[in-house]
Structure 1
Amino acid sequence: MQIGEGRLRRVLCVLAILAAKVTLFSSQVYGQDSADAAAQANNPLANFTAFNLQNYYVDELTGPSENDANSFILRYAQPVQLGETNWLIRASLPFNSFPVGDGGSTVDGVGDFDIFAAYQIDLQRPGVSFAIGPSIVAPTASDDRLGSDQWQLGLANVYFNAKSTLWQYGYLLIWRSGVGSTNDRERVNTAALQPILFRQLDNGWYTGGAPIWTANLENGDYSVPLGLRVGKVWVKGKTVFNVFVEPQWSVADSGQGQPKRQVFFALNMQFQ
């Protein structure tokens, strides 16, 4: 498969910038506070405002298209207290570049906006987070081919165990179904499971993975990738920076347009 030179150049440029940031801050002294921050840096339910710049670059898809694909995601998370209850609101907006047909062309633009509100349940276990709540997807795609063209409602469930500063694990589970008019499109009925496993190394470095396994409950299509992440966490002032790269490979898939090989990389920031 031919990888678009322009898109590959942009991906390599972003990776170079992230690598430069890691090199710049990797020499700082790493203490216990930083170790605790590293353990929470990949917690979807961390009790901090967070802003993430994330990117999935796919260089091979199943199906007839020979083009690559890309999804750049802006993500914002905000803890909210309502009365005596604690919630986490997380909103995401993707900017997508997807292949169209088998003629080598692509379509680019904004994708569907999604948000979930997770009610955090106190399990009386320090270091363990658990939450469940509603999930909504709005059909904001600038081109119908970049989104589902229908509203979606569902549920999100998150579990994260950071009792250890060495190992952290958990999952994010989301189910969504289309509601109202489908505009003659297939009714959305999807589930996504993101298993999470990380092992902290020295001086803020860590490894592990958090691939997203998806299933279309309407037509039976699915995608099961596995990945290996290398990341670096550091604290500067009141901000926790988390930069990583995670190549992923499909170990099982069915249907057209599923990723065979992709690279997930990001710069995540938590504001304490």
Structure 2
Amino acid sequence: MGYLKRACRFAVTLLLGLVPSFVTADDAADANNPLANVRAFNIQGYYLNDFSGLPSDTDGFQTVLRYAQPLKIGDTNWLMRASLPYNSLPIGAGNTTVSGIGDVDVFMAYQFDTRPGISFGIGPQVVAPTASDDRLGADQWQLGLANVYFNGTSPQFQYGYLLIYRTGVGSTPAGRKRPEVGAFQPFWFYQLGKGWYTGGAPIWTYDFTTDNYNVPFGLRLGKVQQFGSTTANIFVEPQWSLASRGNGQPQFQLYAAVNLQFR
């Protein structure tokens, strides 16, 4: 439970310690746009608790460092997003915790020309087997496709999704199964005023290799602040699993993050 206490304390301190600053309605609405045409750096943390098929006192943690960069290639607009996870999960013998760096994933989204307030991108995803312990990754290169849609036409309510499919390529290491995973992340955000907002962005996953899945629901409280040319989006989002299959699926997650956009 130490992870939960530290995560809650950190998130509450951030939320309550913010000083008022002016943030426009457009900045607040765009702060959660995964295809925003700005450089961004995110620090995201998941406290994971009550894994299916494991003792009730089992927990884990994942931290993700993520960087996004708009790119101009010829006459086309792209967004590159790279993510590096650090995992601490109960996957060792006797449900002991194994900690270390996970697999790095990168995707490039081609951004289509759309009407104002709409963002739509699609492109390739590559996952590199960089895990410091083979149990923390797939131990195999993966290729896939990512598709993102964001509707920010309303300054009060925004919504969209992230859809990912990827599978292992090349030879599969002995004793391992070829990874084949799909993920769908629906998201919605309702602006409460003065930079405060609510919403949710759970990630629904399906493992085509094992037929295991997890479908969580989340409810977020967030605050968007402007610091000069930097937009900070800080939030806490508890998530509960509505349906799952297979051992090791977290039944509760506490998702907290600091997302920075540099304009």
TM-score bin (small chain) = over 0.9
Pick the aligned partner of 1:219 from 181, 191, 210. Answer: 210
Offset of residue 102 of structure 1: 6.6
What is the alpha-carbon distance in structure 2 between the residues aligned to residue 131 and residue 29 of structure 1? 30
Q: Report the count of equivalent residues.
A: 261
Offset of residue 256 of structure 1: 1.1
Pick the aligned partner of 1:209 from 172, 191, 200. Answer: 200
Offset of residue 19 of structure 1: 2.6
Structure 1 length-normalised TM: 0.92
Counterpart check, 1:28 vs 2:21:
yes
What is the alpha-carbon distance in structure 1 between the residues aligned to residue 124 and residue 169 of structure 2? 14
The CA RMSD measured in Å over matched residues stands at 1.4
What is the alpha-carbon distance in structure 2 between the residues aligned to residue 232 and residue 177 of structure 1? 36
Q: Which amino acid aligns with 2:18?
A: L
Offset of residue 104 of structure 1: 4.6
Contact 1:128 1:163 in 2 (8 A): yes
Pick the aligned partner of 2:14 from 18, 41, 44. Answer: 18
What is the alpha-carbon distance in structure 2 between the residues aligned to residue 110 and residue 13 of structure 1? 24
Per-residue CA deviations over 1:90-142 (Å, capped at 9, x if unaligned) read 0000000010357352000000000000000112x111000100000000000
Runs of 4+ in 1 over 4 A off after TM superposition: none
Instruction: Tell me what 2:249 maps to.
Output: 258
Instruction: Tell me what 1:8 maps to.
Output: 4
Equivalent residue runs for 1:107-146 within 5 Å? 107-123=98-114, 125-146=115-136
Equivalent residue runs for 1:1-272 within 5 Å? 3=1, 5=2, 7-20=3-16, 23-25=17-19, 27-30=20-23, 34-65=24-55, 66-101=57-92, 103-123=94-114, 125-184=115-174, 185-272=176-263
Structure 2 length-normalised TM: 0.95
Q: Which SS does the other structure have where 2:32 is aligned?
A: coil
Gaps of 5+ in 1: none
Offset of residue 28 of structure 1: 2.5
Which segment drifts farther, 99-108 or 234-243?
99-108
Contact 1:57 1:71 in 2 (8 A): yes
Q: Which SS does the other structure have where 2:154 is aligned?
A: coil
Q: Which amino acid aligns with 1:168?
A: Q
Offset of residue 16 of structure 1: 4.1
**Percentage identity across aligned positions?**
57
